[in-house]
Amino acid sequence: MTETTVYLDNAATTPITDNVLEAMMPWLKEGYGNASSLYSLGRKSAIALNKARAQCAEILGCESRNVYFTSGGTESDNTAVSGAAHAALLSGKKHFITSAFEHHAVLEPMKRLAREGFEITYLPVYENGIVRPADLEAAIRPDTSFVSLMAANNEIGTIQPVAELAGICREHGILFHTDAVQAAGNIPLDMRGTGIDMLSLSGHKLHAPKGIGILCAKDPYPFMLGGSQQNGRRAGTENIAAIVGLAEALRAAAEHTAEKNAKLRPMQERIITEISKLPGAKLNGDREQRLACNVNISFPGQESETMILKLDLKGIAVSGGSACASGSLEPSHVLTALGRSYAEAKGSLRISMSDLTTEQDIDAFLTALPDVIK
Ligand SMILES: *Cc1c(COP(=O)(O)O)cnc(C)c1O
């Protein structure tokens, strides 16, 4: 197999950085104690766990006891939806609102609820890939109890007006969840003073390991039953190394967000400008209101898979849309939600950068591309 030398698929996952690995190492080796054990080896783990939790809480702007460590973004999203469903069964308010282009980790639980008697409204995202607050306001009914809208989209990187959307929900006394998996590390996230009740994020999208994530939530319905870990709401022996790694990754991301965006904006501009010169190329999602790390372009008449494999032969890794949906024959639900045609949706490429991306990476990609779509 070809060696990947240019990695431009950071929205799918990111490599673990040295600072994160270093923070984790002691907890993978000598610090193996169970955080619930009474002797010092265990107490050391408990101290590291509490410190990591406090650090994440401080950065995210929520209380320490509202930070739950999960297995990742999917678990956090599923838990937010199913917790809201449980409350709705008690209150009888079984109308939920989300958008047409959420991640499948939100859409699939919503679909299941629809089969079980819930009513789900999917807000449109228009051609620019942004939810309109007025649409949310108009969709709210007396029996609406839960809204889930992502902070930034994983395929096209468009940034949603989350504070405004959450504010509307707060006014109506509706529980608001945001999937901030792509936003974390790319734009500042602060729940303080907002109407955001629940927030999901995932470690591996910001240089922490796979299999660790966070759900910020106040007194969530217990979602993993067993021991008394995590207030008895998410039982199971905590993965201290991964948790410490995630806290370090969040700290580094928060510290360097401005610097990272200042570096990536011009690179994003350059990719968009250069690609726009190619025949038929069409940018997906708003040009301004998008994460600095994301470019998503359609080449009608091309096949994403073919372009990806041709680029791979040159050592370049990009994706067609979300990694999770690849392999399916259906065009991206995100691009169809923008009103893109079947041909446009089938021929999309997502280029996603991280703070490790270099100008040389962009050079290599831009040099290789014209050949690939010829
Ligand atoms: C990656 C991703 C998820 C899933 O996170 P995992 O940790 O891989 O389960 C959920 N939502 C969004 C927006 C994502 O990009």
pLDDT digit string, tens, across residues 218-268: 999 999 999 999 999 999 999 999 999 999 999 999 999 999 999 999 999
Q: Are residues 61 and 94 in the same domain?
A: yes
pLDDT digit string, tens, across residues 106-122: 999 999 999 999 999 99
Please indicate, yes or no, if residue 91 is contained in any of the structural domains.
yes
Nearest CA to ligand 1 atom 3: 73
**How many structural domains are present in the chain?**
2
367 Cα: distance to centroid of ligand 1 (angstroms):
31
Give the pLDDT of residue 323: 62
Please indicate, yes or no, if residue 1 is contained in any of the structural domains.
no
Mean pLDDT for the stretch of residues 336-355: 95
Which of 223, 255, 287 delimits the end of a domain?
255
Q: Is residue 181 in contact with ligand 1, taking CB distance under 6 Å?
A: yes
pLDDT digit string, tens, across residues 165-185: 999 999 999 999 999 999 999
pLDDT digit string, tens, across residues 318-339: 999 766 555 566 889 999 999 9
CB-based contacts of 239, cutoff 8 Å, min separation 6? 69, 211, 212
Give the pLDDT of residue 92: 98
Give the pLDDT of residue 50: 98
Which of 255, 278, 306 delimits the end of a domain?
255
Q: Are residues 41 and 12 in the same domain?
A: no
Q: Are residues 163 and 85 in the same domain?
A: yes
The pLDDT of residue 317 is above 90: yes
From residue 236, alpha-carbon distances to 70, 278, 337 in Å are 10, 52, 38
Q: Are residues 220 and 308 in the same domain?
A: no
Q: Are residues 300 and 272 in the same domain?
A: yes
Give the pLDDT of residue 237: 98
Query: What is the C-alpha to C-alpha distance for residues 283 and 349, in angstroms, rounded to an integer?
Result: 10
Q: Are residues 273 and 249 in the same domain?
A: no
224 Cα: distance to centroid of ligand 1 (angstroms):
19
Please indicate, yes or no, if residue 196 is contained in any of the structural domains.
yes
Please indicate, yes or no, if residue 197 is contained in any of the structural domains.
yes
Ligand 1 atom closest to residue 322's alpha carbon, by position in its atom list: 15
88 Cα: distance to centroid of ligand 1 (angstroms):
25
Query: What is the C-alpha to C-alpha distance for residues 242 and 247, in angstroms, rounded to an integer?
Result: 9
Q: Are residues 178 and 311 in the same domain?
A: no
Please indicate, yes or no, if residue 139 is contained in any of the structural domains.
yes
Residue with tokens 């690995």: 21
pLDDT digit string, tens, across residues 89-110: 999 999 999 999 999 999 999 9
Please indicate, yes or no, if residue 210 is contained in any of the structural domains.
yes
Please indicate, yes or no, if residue 42 is contained in any of the structural domains.
yes
The torsion of the CA quartet 354, 356, 360, 364, rounded to 10 degrees, works out to -50
Q: Are residues 285 and 180 in the same domain?
A: no
Give the pLDDT of residue 322: 67
Mean pLDDT for the stretch of residues 141-150: 98
Q: Is residue 109 in contact with ligand 1, taking CB distance under 6 Å?
A: no
**pTM higher than 0.95:** yes
Q: Which CATH number covers residue 291? A: 3.90.1150.10
Q: Are residues 231 and 304 in the same domain?
A: no
Q: Which two tokens stand for residue 230?
A: 């995590």
Please indicate, yes or no, if residue 215 is contained in any of the structural domains.
yes
Query: What is the C-alpha to C-alpha distance for residues 264 and 165, in angstroms, rounded to an integer?
Result: 27
271 Cα: distance to centroid of ligand 1 (angstroms):
25
Ligand 1 atom closest to residue 210's alpha carbon, by position in its atom list: 7
Give the pLDDT of residue 111: 98
Range of the domain at 38: 18-255
Ligand 1 atom closest to residue 73's alpha carbon, by position in its atom list: 5
Which of 235, 255, 275 delimits the end of a domain?
255
Q: Are residues 304 and 225 in the same domain?
A: no
- The yes-or-no answer on residue 169 being catalytic is no
Q: Are residues 108 and 209 in the same domain?
A: yes
Q: Are residues 294 and 251 in the same domain?
A: no
Q: Which CATH number covers residue 79? A: 3.40.640.10
